[in-house]
Amino acid sequence: MKRKVLAMLLTAAMAASLMACGGGGDTSAESTEQTAGSEADTSSEETDSKEADESEQAEAPAADDGGSDYGGITLTFLNSKPEITDAVKKVTSAWGEAHGVTFEVTETSNPNDTLMANYQSGDAPILAVVDDANVLDFAAEHLLPLDGETWEGYTDMGKYVDGKLYGFPLTVESHCIVVNKAVVEENIGREFAAGDYKSIEAFEALLKEMRENGMETPVAVLPDIWSMVGHDFYPFYAYQDGTGEGAFALVDAVKGGKDIFEDELFYNHADFMSRVVAEYNINKADPLNADHDMTVLALAEGEVGFLLNGTWTWPELESMGASKSDDYTIMAYPNGSASAGKVMAAPTKYIVVDNSNATEEQQAAAKEFLNYLVMDEAGQKALIDDLGIVCAFTNNPNIPSDPINKALMQYISDGNTVTYLPLAFPSDYRDTITPAVQKLMTGEGDIRALADVLNDYWKNNDPNGR
């Protein structure tokens, strides 16, 4: 009898531990983070502080801009753009040494889950690199308004929520097709100009030609949900009229009863992805279970000419042997809209400052650091050369050194960009449409089924960001 009682108690205790884990301050999700946003698919969360490579520090831009000395305070910095973590450590370390600030840089590929856990445990980072949706979610309760900061006058890409500025635009990126131009030109025997392939028909003809010339599958599509679902199936919002308003109008129309299947841009894009891209995909046999690294490597090694991804791919390509002198460029997802040929471009990452746990001194240091990145020559250089990004500030004269971001700069300066921002998708949007998109890409579903999911979703949900 005693044994039975003990066994029952044991049962209750072990089962209760599940509830307890979900109860308060749970950080289990933090250690098992999923791939999200435009990031690599690592799930690690590294912690470091100022032990950046000594030699790197020696080359770090001088950061003694004559600003304040904070006497050894610590600023925690959460970075959700893993490919630039080393560069972030280098830049923060250089500025911190000159201003008596120690930066502790941590990394996550899922800023939502990490910040939720951090705020629940009262241990939020002072500075955080986050996605658009995170600014919307956390602004009201936890973030410091940054209105009136000097840098505000040099950009129109800051993230505003309810009229207040919360997000420092860290980088402008593009969901686009990355092109190994040298490989394509070698295959077709003539110069490749992205502007010649604005329409689906023209791009399809190019792929057909490349196949006839010996490259059986000239396109690489990443299997990751954040890419295939989160990026490859957003263009029909952005190209409605090239602005966020057009994207909102499409959503509003669907809410009002329009069948999205009847939307020409939606149908043509879904058809392009499921018929053309799926056919010429190097991962055609098993598009959902291909290896991420091998897929990117296929572009770096010239097995394919095109990779559906974005400008953030460069650090990955470079780590796989691509050189800044190589001939890469970017092109838009082909479509039949008036904006065809323009690439989607928008600030994709913002730096925010904590307003729940940070002291006034920490907030002041954080704000001074952000101004340094925009107003100081060394900071401007650090943004472009060290972080390797396309900058959202008009006063920065530096030009990215890699071919992909250079190409994006050219699109921006020519005015050839479109966006769906400030439309932001509710947090369950991507999960909801994932099965229909995946089935479409594997041939087990059709455009009608995806349209039904979208119709149903937008009838019951509102977009964020308006």
Q: Return residues touching other proteins (CB under 8 A).
A: 3-4, 7-8, 10-24, 28-29, 31-32, 34, 43, 112-113, 116, 119-120, 137-138, 141-142, 225, 285-286, 288-291, 356, 426-428, 431, 434-435, 438-439, 442, 444
* CA–CA dist 112, 232 (Å, integer): 22
Nearer residue to other proteins within complex by CB, 28 or 395:
28
* CA–CA dist 466, 459 (Å, integer): 17
Q: The tokens 């801009």 sit on which residue?
A: 65
Q: Give yes or no for a contact between 329 and 311, defined as CB atoms under 8 angstroms apart.
A: no
Compute the least distance from the CB of residue 114 to other proteins, in Å: 10
Nearer residue to other proteins within complex by CB, 104 or 113:
113
Compute the least distance from the CB of residue 135 to other proteins, in Å: 12
Compute the least distance from the CB of residue 3 to other proteins, in Å: 8
Cα–Cα distance list, 107 to 37, 169, 391 (Å): 14, 18, 21
CB atoms within 10 A of CB 187: 21
Nearer residue to other proteins within complex by CB, 229 or 332:
229
Q: Across 10-79, where does the E strand assignment appear?
A: 73-79
Q: Sign of torsion, CA 214 218 223 229?
A: negative
Nearer residue to other proteins within complex by CB, 157 or 228:
228
Nearer residue to other proteins within complex by CB, 331 or 441:
441
Residue 363, token pair as written in the block: 């907030």
Cis peptide before 218 (omega within 30 of 0): no
Nearer residue to other proteins within complex by CB, 58 or 285:
285
Compute the least distance from the CB of residue 202 to other proteins, in Å: 32
Coil vs helix vs strand at 170: strand
Candidates 385, 407, 381; CA nearest to 395 is: 381
Compute the least distance from the CB of residue 99 to other proteins, in Å: 31
Nearer residue to other proteins within complex by CB, 9 or 202:
9
Compute the least distance from the CB of residue 23 to other proteins, in Å: 3
* CA–CA dist 75, 82 (Å, integer): 19
Cα–Cα distance list, 185 to 180, 219, 298, 306, 322 (Å): 9, 15, 16, 12, 17
Nearer residue to other proteins within complex by CB, 43 or 49:
43
Exposed, middle or buried, 11 (CB in 10 Å: 0-12/13-18/19+)? exposed
Compute the least distance from the CB of residue 55 to other proteins, in Å: 32
Compute the least distance from the CB of residue 293 to other proteins, in Å: 11
Nearer residue to other proteins within complex by CB, 343 or 440:
440
* Sequential DSSP letters for 341-377: TPEE-EEEEEEEEBSSS--HHHHHHHHHHHHHHHHSH
Compute the least distance from the CB of residue 279 to other proteins, in Å: 17
* CA–CA dist 252, 126 (Å, integer): 37
Nearer residue to other proteins within complex by CB, 216 or 291:
291
Strand partners for 103: 75
Compute the least distance from the CB of residue 80 to other proteins, in Å: 15
What separation, in Å, do the N-terminal and C-terminal C-alpha atoms of the chain show? 64
